[in-house]
Structure 1
Amino acid sequence: MYVRSPEFERYAERIAQVTDATSRLNVLPFSDTEARAELLAVVFGGPLPESVTIYPPFYTEHGLATTFGKNVFVNQGCTFMDGAGITIGDNVMIAPRVSLITGGHPLPLAERREYTATAPIVIEDDVWIGAAAVVTQGVTIGAGSVVAAGAVVTRDVSARTLVAGVPARMVKSID
């Protein structure tokens, strides 16, 4: 039998609150911008900056650990598992079905049973992340970079570079 700490219980309550809000968000008529803004405020712990646009459906585990810069666009079907924190800079475009995942598990079986390893994701200014890309824990994507569609980013991306593939590798510098 598992013993749940008060901290775990608070975390589970927050996840339930966010899951309820995103469930309602994801079935709203798209034209109901007022209700969408209210539900996103519940998810993220307050109103988003006016220049941030998130198209549902949208999924997140926590919400409170994500911060947005100015002029951020998040397209449909994105998932932000933000337990360790996600920081998104200014002028960032995130294409459909992108996953930003701050948690993972160690490879050894005994360790996998014991804990989740987490590390924050940082997306600097002027980044574009292509459709269905995955960014994993602990990654920083440098300013002005592009992550190609379908890439799996497991390591930091230098500023002003294009990365692609599984795992993502630098394709070229962007002037």
Structure 2
Amino acid sequence: MSLPSRVIHGARRSLVASQFRRASSAGVLRTGEDLRLGSYARCSAGSTRAPSVTIGDHVFLDATLMTRGAGTIAIGSHCWIGGAGASLIGAVESISIGSDVIISTHAHIFDHNSHPTDPGARLRMTRGEHGGPLWDWTEAESAPVVIEDNVWIGEYTMVLKGVTIGHGSVVAAHAVVTKDVPSHSIVAGNPARVVKRLQ
């Protein structure tokens, strides 16, 4: 890595660390021991709950965590989340991630539809003020997401609202998970389906 690249990388990491310290001081973020932050880690806690984001011990995080409304994100211990940025975890209700979980780069996990499915509501969004309530996810359909212990979520995946991914399972790269995943199974495709049992 060239000297200018190292300087830019170091400055970015310093900004990331200060942003997480501010979130922690504000009471919206609670972390355990040995949280390691990648250059692209972000915490945008717009939730009414405090803390709205909790992270266990020995976690590497290089992803964006976003909460809105009364949303919460809970991450267990010994997790690896993201890498080279671009992963996004967004909650308006609840996203619970167990321990010993690997979430690869470019994964997106949402407990909501992002925007209303009703055409009239979307029309009000596009013709109204950008950034209003229809834009902050809280008007969209939502349901909690649970990712149990020892799960591996591959690159470029989407995990959508109301899903539970069972203990010891694998979500293959590019899968779109719309239904529960049984424990100890591999799912792949769009929509994701079980392709192999691990026990």
Which TM class, normalised by the smaller chain length? 0.7 to 0.9
Shift of 1:147: 0.2
Amino-acid identity (%):
33
The one-letter amino acid paired with 2:119 is: L
Taking a change above 3 Å as real, the CA distance of residues 169 and 44 of structure 1, as seen in their structure-2 partners, is: farther
What aligned pairs does 1:124-139 form with structure 2 within 5 A after superposition?
A: 124-139=148-163
Answer yes or no: is the 8 Å Cα contact 2:142–2:162 preserved in 1. yes
Q: Quote the offset at 1:44 in angstroms.
A: 8.0
* Alignment equivalent of 2:179, drawn from 138, 155, 168: 155
**TM-score, normalization by structure 2:** 0.64
Computed over aligned residues only, the root mean square deviation of the Cα atoms, in angstroms, reads: 3.0
**TM-score, normalised on structure 1?**
0.72
Cα deviation digits, residues 43-94 of structure 1 (max 9, x gap):
98233222122115x2524396000111111113211111111000010000
Structure 1's 70 and 111: CA in aligned 2 closer, same or farther, altered over 3 A? Answer: same
1:110 Cα deviation from its structure 2 partner: 4.6
Q: In the superposition, relative to structure 1, how do residues 106 and 55 fare at CA in structure 2: closer, same or farther (>3 Å)?
A: closer
Q: Which residues of structure 1 form unaligned runs of 5+?
A: 1-25
Cα contact 2:160–2:178 (8 A) shared by 1: yes
- Judged with a 3 Å threshold, the aligned counterparts in structure 2 of structure 1 residues 28 and 61 are, in CA distance, closer, same or farther, namely farther
Q: How does 1:20-169 map to 2 (within 5 A)?
A: 28-30=11-13, 34-35=17-18, 37-39=20-22, 41=24, 45-50=28-33, 51-56=58-63, 58-62=64-68, 65-75=72-82, 76-104=85-113, 107=117, 109-110=119-120, 115-169=139-193
Q: Work out the CA distance in 2 between the residues paired with 1:126 and 1:97.
A: 19
**1:140-159 deviation digits (Å, cap 9, x = unpaired):** 00000000011000000000
SS at match of 2:60: strand
Q: Distance in 2 between matches of 1:43 and 1:154?
A: 34
Query: Equivalents in 2 of 1:73, 1:131: separation in Å?
Result: 13
Moved over 6 A (4+): 111-114
1:111 to partner: Cα distance: 7.0
Q: Which has the higher helix share?
A: 1
Is 1:67–1:88's contact at 8 Å kept on the other side of the alignment? yes
